[in-house]
Amino acid sequence: MIDERITIDSAQQDALSGATALISGIEGSAIVIHGSSGCGWKGRWNRQDQALLNYTPLIATSLLEYDVVFGGKDKLKRDIEFVIKTWSPERVFVLIADSGSLINDPVERVAEEINAEFNIPCIAIDVAGFKGLEATGFDLALSRILSEFPQEDVDKKVPASVNIIAPSLMGSANWVFDLEEIKSLLQQIGLYVNTVVACNTDLQELRHLAQAEANIYLTSEELLDFATFEREHGLRQIGRDLPLPVGISNTEEWLTGIAREFDREDQARKVMAENERRHFLPLRHSYNVTWLLTWLENKYALVLGPALWAASLAKFMYHDLTTFPSVIVLYGESQEAMQRARAVLADVTEYYDALILENPAYIEVADAVKQRPVEYAVGQTQDKSLIEGLGVGHLTLAGLQTVLGAFNFVPYPWVGHKGLPYLLTMFGKVLEHTFHEPERWRDLRYRRRSEA
C-alpha cells in the first residue's frame, strides 16, 4: 500500500531514480532519458558509483518549451542514434520522465524504428515521477526487462543459491562496496550468489534469476510486479524480517537468520567467530577505541534515512555503541516498508522512549530536534544543513553516493564484521565535531568593540 503523505518531502527519489539505478547496473546498457535537462541530471546522480565499475552512457533529450508544444520525437530519435554510434551499447533503454510522459510522444514507435534500423533492443519505459518513488521505478523497470528477456533453464534450480535483490534501494551511502561484503558473507556460509539485481550484472545472469532457491532483499520496500514473477517461478523471499548487517549484533542476527533458511547455522557461527577474531582483535587493545566508546555511551542521537537502513543503524547504535537514538526518522514509499522497519526496532524501543517519525516534513524533524535530547545526528546529505543549522553535529551515512550522498572513494564496506572499524572511524568524526562545539566557540570568539 502506497502512503500518499510521502509527497511532502521533495528530496526523496522518484520512479526515474529507481529505474536509472537498476539499469545502470546491467552491463552493456545505455540510457536515454526523454525529459527535461533536470531529469537528465537526476538520472546522472542516481547512476551512482556503478559508473566506476560499469560505465553506463546516459544522456537526456533535455526537452524545452518548443518540444513540449510541438513534440520531441525527432530529438529523441537523434539522441538515440547518437548514443548507438558513439558507445555501441548492446541495448538502449529510453526512460520517459515527467515532461516526456505528459506530452505523449510516440516513444514506443521510435523505439521500434531504432530496433529495426540498428538491430539492437531499444526498450521504452514510462517512469515519470508522478508514478511513484524509487521502489516503484525499480519495480517497473525490472518487470519490463524480465518480460523483454524471458527466463532460461527455469527447471534447473541451483542448490543453496540466492539472488540479492535491490542493493541500490538499501539506503547506505556506501552500498556498492557494502554489496561486495554482503556477497562475501553469504559465500562464507556456503551459499551461491546466483544473480545481483543489479550491480555489474550481465543480462544473461538476469535470465537465470529463476534458478535460485530464494531472494534476499536489501530493502524493506514492496516490489509488487516482481512479486508476481517470484510466485510464478517458485522464488521465496527470505530475510524480510531481519535488520541489515550493520555492526556486530545486526550482522550476527542477519547472517544467522539467512543461514537458518538453509540449515547452515553451525557454519554461520564459525564464520562469525573467525571474522570477529580477524577484525575485532586489533580494536580490543586500542586506547582510542576505549575512549571513543566511552564518549558515545549514553549519548542521545537523531537517525534519519531510508526506512530499513535507518532502523538497522539505530539498532546498531543502541546495542553496539550504547547510544540512545531518541528520534528516528524513517523514509519510505509503502506502509509495508514502515512496518518492517518498526519490527526491526521492536527490541530497541521497548527499553526507552524513542520518537519514530514516518516520512515527516523537515519542519517536523526540526521541531523534534528542538523538543527532544539530541547531541548528534546520522543521516543524509540533504539533512545536513538543516541539522547543523540547529547546532547539532551531522554524519552522512545514508542516501546516494554522489552529490546527494557521500563523497566516498575508499572501496571498503561499512557492513559486516569487516565494516565495524570504518564505522567507528566515521562516528569518531562526528563525535569530534560534537566535542569541540564549533557553533558555541563561534559565539564566544573574541570580538572588537566595533563588532559588538
Task: Name the residue with higher pLDDT: 410 or 144.
Answer: 144
Asked whether 214 and 162 are in contact (CB, 8 A), the reply is yes
Instruction: Reply yes or no on whether the pLDDT at 2 is more than 60.
Output: no
Q: What is the mean pLDDT of residues 4-8?
A: 47
Average pLDDT taken over every residue of the chain: 90
User: How far is CA 311 from each of CA 164, 295, 371, 452, rounded to the nearest angstrom?
Assistant: 20, 22, 21, 46
Grid coordinates representing 277 are 577474531
Q: What is the mean pLDDT of residues 260-264?
A: 97
Instruction: Reply yes or no on whether the pLDDT at 205 is more than 50.
Output: yes
Give the CATH number of domain 280-439.
Answer: 3.40.50.1980
Q: What is the mean pLDDT of residues 331-346?
A: 95
Instruction: Reply yes or no on whether the pLDDT at 3 is more than 70.
Output: no
Question: What are the tens digits of pLDDT across the range 29-48?
Answer: 999 999 998 888 888 878 76
DSSP letter for each residue of 171-196:
-BTTHHHHHHHHHHHHHHTT-EEEEE
Task: Name the residue with higher pLDDT: 342 or 361.
Answer: 342
Percent of the chain clearing pLDDT 70 (strictly above) = 92
Question: What are the tens digits of pLDDT across the range 157-199?
Answer: 999 999 999 999 999 989 989 999 999 999 999 999 999 999 9
- Find the helix or strand (DSSP H, E) in which 318 lies: helix 307-321
Instruction: Reply yes or no on whether the pLDDT at 7 is more than 60.
Output: no
Give the CATH number of domain 8-148.
Answer: 3.40.50.1980
Decide whether 8-148 matches 161-260 in CATH topology: yes
Q: Taking the chain, what is the end-to-end CA distance rounded to the nearest angstrom?
A: 57
How many Cα atoms sit within 13 Å of 51 on the Cβ side? 15
Comparing CA positions, the residue from 142, 255, 127 lying closest to residue 197 is 142
Angle, helices 307-321/247-260, rounded to nearest 10 degrees: 120
Q: In what order do the strands lie in the sheet with 58-60?
A: 58-60, 29-34, 91-96, 122-126
Q: Which fold has domain 161-260?
A: Rossmann fold (3.40.50)
Place of cell 527447471: 155
Helices (H), 322-361: 335-344, 346-349
Comparing CA positions, the residue from 135, 145, 129, 144 lying closest to residue 16 is 129
Q: How crowded is residue 36: how many other Cβ atoms within 10 Å of its Cβ?
A: 20
Question: What are the tens digits of pLDDT across the range 215-251?
Answer: 999 999 999 999 999 999 999 999 999 999 999 999 9
CA–CA separation, 96 and 106 (whole Å)? 11
What is the residue extent of each domain of the chain? 8-148, 161-260, 280-439
Decide the pairing of beta strands 236-238 and 393-398. unpaired
**Non-local CB neighbours of 427 within 8 Å, separated by 6+ positions:** 292, 296, 321, 395
Instruction: Reply yes or no on whether the pLDDT at 70 is more than 90.
Output: no
pTM higher than 0.75: yes
Q: How crowded is residue 363: how many other Cβ atoms within 10 Å of its Cβ?
A: 10
Task: Name the residue with higher pLDDT: 284 or 273.
Answer: 273
